[in-house]
Amino acid sequence: MKSPALTCADLLKPIEEIVGGGHMLWPDGGYVNGSPETAVKAVLVTWMADTAALRKAIAGRCNVVLCHEPPFYSEKNELPPYRWLNAVNDCAEQSWHPNRQRRALIEKHGLTLLQCHYGLDRFPIYESFVEALGLTAPGKDRGWEQVYRLPKPMTVAALTKLVKERLGIAGTVRVAGDSRRKVRRVVSLWGGLGLNVNLYWLRQGIAHGADVAVAGEMDEFLMRFAAEAGIPVIETSHQLSEEIGLGRYAEVLRRRYQGLKVVTAFTGRPYRTL
């Protein structure tokens, strides 16, 4: 008897079994040019479905792209005097705009995009970043708000060097705070949790006893908060910190669905330092 075709819904079953399904899996994300019932011939797993990732999917004969971040850019709807001439998304009509280029590739080649943000954060992005850093969690389990303990106290400079080695980061990283300070209790601000809009996570880390944070991406508002709160923060990269877990999820899919072609498109930090 022929096995039923693998569908897009099947690609999320490993997540659903751990974090649950329904609305809790989809507070954001969704499908572009497809549905849960879309049959999967081959899948590309990537952080963001940019044109390079889409072209790799096409070259690899993948009909489905599973991404973590939104596939299209959006603009804030500003009122005068902040916006004078153009309406929101006017520039998306220009041929050079990434949104237009991505949509053209999706439509021309009949690709289905499946964006899963919250679910992939829950499994396996969060834990994969922590494991890559070599952190262990003693005592009470606080989920995403867990504070991790280093084997021994070390300076922020020494911890920064260790973080770079473990993540394979070449070049410099940004550090907010005193690099000579000795620290031991670490809170993870993977992905975008080092941005001011996600300040809750750093605040809770401090409340739970953290004396240093390792972030994916941070902005200067959070740096200023960290300086006044007296906690150093080491920045790695939003994309890099999450691609570690996405690579792990690609392996989960390969093991679960024997014979499924799973391609990845990972680039690490989307910039270089001079």
pLDDT digits (tens, 9 = 90+) for 148-161: 999 999 999 999 99
27-38: pLDDT as tens digits: 788 999 999 999
pLDDT score at 22: 74
Q: Domain boundary residue among 79, 98, 116?
A: 116
- For position 200, which CATH number holds? 3.40.1390.30
pLDDT score at 261: 98
- My answer on whether 82 and 137 are in the same domain is no
* Rounded CA separation 159/259 (Å): 41
pLDDT score at 262: 98
Which pair of structure tokens corresponds to residue 61? 């004969």
- My answer on whether 176 and 197 are in the same domain is yes
Contacts of 261 (CB under 8 A, 6+ apart): 41, 42, 43, 60, 61, 62
Global model pTM greater than 0.85:
yes
3-class DSSP string for 148-191: EEEEEEEEHHHHHHHHHHHHCCCCCCCEECCCCCEEEEEEEECC
- My answer on whether 134 and 159 are in the same domain is yes
pLDDT score at 79: 75
Q: Is residue 148 part of a domain?
A: yes
pLDDT score at 251: 98
Q: Is residue 215 part of a domain?
A: yes
- My answer on whether 111 and 133 are in the same domain is no
Which residues form the domain of 33?
8-116
Q: Domain boundary residue among 97, 116, 135?
A: 116
pLDDT score at 87: 67
DSSP state of 2: P
- My answer on whether 100 and 128 are in the same domain is no
- My answer on whether 159 and 62 are in the same domain is no
Q: Is residue 206 part of a domain?
A: yes
Amino acid at 195: L
43-96: pLDDT as tens digits: 999 999 999 999 999 999 999 999 999 999 988 777 777 776 666 666 666 889
- My answer on whether 162 and 101 are in the same domain is no
Q: Is residue 92 part of a domain?
A: yes
Q: Is residue 199 part of a domain?
A: yes
Q: Is residue 266 part of a domain?
A: no
pLDDT score at 92: 60
Q: Is residue 66 part of a domain?
A: yes
Overall number of domains in the chain: 2
- My answer on whether 51 and 101 are in the same domain is yes
Q: Domain boundary residue among 77, 98, 116?
A: 116
- My answer on whether 159 and 228 are in the same domain is yes
- My answer on whether 46 and 73 are in the same domain is yes
Question: What is the mean pLDDT of each successive set of 10 residues along the chain, which is 274 residues long?
Answer: 83 92 76 95 98 98 98 82 68 82 97 96 96 83 89 97 97 96 97 98 96 98 98 98 98 98 97 88
- My answer on whether 95 and 144 are in the same domain is no
